[in-house]
Amino acid sequence: MTAADLVADLRSRGFQVRLAEGKLVVSPGSQLTDADRAALALYREAIINILGAEAAHAPGASRAFCGGVLVRVEGWPALGASAWLCGHCASRSVPTLSEVYATLTDDERKRLAVEVESDDRLASHVIVQLGREGA
């Protein structure tokens, strides 16, 4: 069972699972079994993250997200990590680094070259990646 499975199971059984001032609230608490309580303790942080992501994507949320369905993405933002992302937003087409580089002005390209010469790590990584893409 995952944290998402637990949230879905509790909701299917009529429990409200929500955040209140950043804290996990499950009601009615008196109806929780010992197994429910143990699972909630085990997955508390993950459930808080899930509920926070749901709130951020809820209609009328203070952030301007699209309101799409969240999906769990393994291996993002780094290998061995995972995160909840909006499936719609995450599936949008984004330009490659080569395509972005092609839109740079001569001055911007010169600035990038100067940054590489001054051992700027990010600029150096950009140039290496551009070489891999054949730009």
Residue 110 lies in a domain: yes
Domain assignment present for residue 16? The answer is yes
- Kindly state whether residue 10 falls inside one of the protein's structural domains: yes
Query: Does 71 map to a domain?
Result: no
Last residue of a domain, one of 42, 65, 88: 65
Mean pLDDT of 103-120: 95
95 compared with 130, residue with greater pLDDT: 130
Q: Are residues 60 and 7 in the same domain?
A: yes
pLDDT score, position 54: 76
Summarised one tens digit per residue, pLDDT across range 36-57 is 999 999 999 989 988 887 776 5
pLDDT at position 97: 87
105 within a domain of the structure (yes/no) = yes
Domain that holds residue 42: 3-65
* 36-60 burial: b if 16+ Cβ within 10 Å, else e: beebbeebeebbeebbebbeebeee
Q: How many domains does the chain have?
A: 2
Same domain for 61 and 101, yes or no, is no
Q: Which of 23, 48, 65 is the last residue of a domain?
A: 65
pLDDT of residue 127: 92
Contact between 70 and 53 under an 8 Å Cβ cutoff? The reply is yes
Q: What is the pLDDT of residues 11-32, one digit of tens each?
A: 999 999 998 888 999 999 999 9
More confident residue, 111 or 96: 111
Q: Mean of the pLDDT values across residues 87-113?
A: 84
**80 assigned to some structural domain:** no
Identify whether residues 57 and 105 lie together within a single domain: no
Are 9 and 61 in the same domain? yes
Question: Residue 87 pLDDT > 90, yes or no?
Answer: no
